[in-house]
Amino acid sequence: MKAVVIENYGGPEVLRLKEVPTPSVTGHSQVLVRVRAASVNPLDYQVRRGDYAPLFNLPIITGHDVAGDVIAVGEGVKKWRPGDKVYYSPRFGGPGSYAEYHLTDESSLSAMPDHLSYEEAAAAPLVGGTVWEMLVVRAQLKEGDTILIPGGAGGVGSLAIQVAKSLGAFVYTTGQSILQAQLHRLGADVVIDHHKKNYIEEIQAHTKGRGVDVIIDTVGGSTLSDSPLALADYGRIVTLVDIALPQNLIHAWERNATYHFVFTRQSREELHPITSLIETGQVKPVIDSVYPIDDAQSAHRRIEDAKRDRPLLGKIVLSL
Ligand SMILES: NC(=O)c1ccc[n+]([C@@H]2O[C@H](COP(=O)([O-])OP(=O)(O)OC[C@H]3O[C@@H](n4cnc5c(N)ncnc54)[C@H](OP(=O)(O)O)[C@@H]3O)[C@@H](O)[C@H]2O)c1
């Protein structure tokens, strides 16, 4: 089969399309999937550049989202049959999805919503489970809450806005002015251009000094320490981003804030409610762009390039 193989850590140029052996079902609960689309996550380029090098032995195939067709199943698999359309997030640390075929355990699979294309479906599993964990399991976001979602145009943000809206929250987000109309269409009530304005001052002005009930941090760095200045008393902050440098959390202490730290569990159970929201039309994966698998290098350049000429909106997808 064709696969994008990483033989050395480095820039996008280390992603090489190669011919590698096709995996086959040998275990009781295994399922072989023909991958039709895989999406690109920051985790993929973090793996590619070697951020998790102690956890892997090269060569590796990265990729943390799959949409595709079941090809073969182990003898213990009763729920899935060849031809079923599935989507899921391959386990972090195992073989990834930038390949024509992916071998997984049946416990990871969810049925793909009928009306989605493979590209749309591949955009959902990793960010979907992550967003549910952040908004519902941790922040316990409820109707009438106010929430700030920085990075609203990103893969996580573009889904989080829609899910927060479906839960009845009033949504503030940050995003470039050129994307304002699209971010409002996703469900954002207020869009603040983080390249032109100070989001803390804007939130303080909009909320008359009260702040918001919930902030989800998809940006990292000083957002973790500064964003409590836009938080209401006893508010909740959920952060997704690793904390590379020590941060002073004095502003969080002044607000009696609660912090939640999320490293996604890639849980099928947390994707299920997102599947329901997709099926009822309340949520739709947003596709930024689609690249053929043999141009994975360009896909990585686009997600990593902070100075891209056209701003990112949603997920970058690889089609196979
Ligand atoms: N812990 C976990 O389990 C987990 C799971 C998923 C993702 N993550 C992490 O979450 C982060 C976001 O993931 P993603 O998939 O959404 O990434 P993404 O698709 O690359 O989106 C990043 C977004 O953040 C915006 N942004 C960058 N710097 C900003 C700033 N200073 N202020 C406001 N917005 C800013 C970008 O907007 P511009 O174009 O304007 O720069 C872009 O829209 C990544 O660091 C990723 O590793 C963690």
Q: What is the pLDDT along the chain (320 residues), one digit of tens a residue?
A: 999 999 999 999 999 999 999 999 999 999 999 999 999 999 999 999 999 999 999 999 999 999 999 999 999 999 999 999 999 999 999 999 999 999 999 999 999 999 999 999 999 999 999 999 999 999 999 999 999 999 999 999 999 999 999 999 999 999 999 999 999 999 999 999 999 999 999 999 999 999 999 999 999 888 999 999 999 999 999 999 988 888 899 999 999 999 999 999 888 899 999 999 999 999 999 999 999 999 999 999 999 998 888 999 999 999 99
Q: Which pLDDT score is estimated for 221?
A: 86
Q: Which pLDDT score is estimated for 245?
A: 86
Q: Are 238 and 217 spatial neighbours (Cβ–Cβ below 8 Å)?
A: yes
Q: Which pLDDT score is estimated for 26?
A: 96
Q: Which pLDDT score is estimated for 235?
A: 98
Q: Which pLDDT score is estimated for 256?
A: 98
Q: On the CB side of 214, how many CA atoms lie within 13 Å of its CA?
A: 26
Q: Which pLDDT score is estimated for 243?
A: 85
| Tokens 């869009």 sit on residue | 191
Q: Is 208 left (phi over 0), alpha (psi -120 to 50) or beta?
A: left
Question: Does the beta carbon of 155 sit less than 6 angstroms from any atom of ligand 1?
Answer: yes
Q: Which pLDDT score is estimated for 222?
A: 87
Distance 229 CA to ligand 1 centre (A): 20
Distance 41 CA to ligand 1 centre (A): 9
Task: Specify the pairing of strand 30-40 against strand 315-319.
Answer: antiparallel
Q: Which pLDDT score is estimated for 51?
A: 95
Distance 152 CA to ligand 1 centre (A): 8
Helix (H, G, I), strand (E, B) or coil at 59: coil
Q: Which domains does the chain have, with CATH numbers?
A: 2-124+285-319 (3.90.180.10), 127-261 (3.90.180.10)
Atom 35, ligand 1: residue with shortest CA distance: 151
Question: Does the beta carbon of 128 sit less than 6 angstroms from any atom of ligand 1?
Answer: no
Distance 156 CA to ligand 1 centre (A): 7
Question: Does the beta carbon of 157 sit less than 6 angstroms from any atom of ligand 1?
Answer: yes
Question: Does the beta carbon of 219 sit less than 6 angstroms from any atom of ligand 1?
Answer: yes
Question: Does the beta carbon of 42 sit less than 6 angstroms from any atom of ligand 1?
Answer: yes
Distance 219 CA to ligand 1 centre (A): 5
Q: Which pLDDT score is estimated for 307?
A: 86
Q: Are 34 and 71 spatial neighbours (Cβ–Cβ below 8 Å)?
A: yes
Q: Which two tokens stand for residue 87?
A: 């989507």
Ligand 1: nearest atom to the Cα of 221: 31
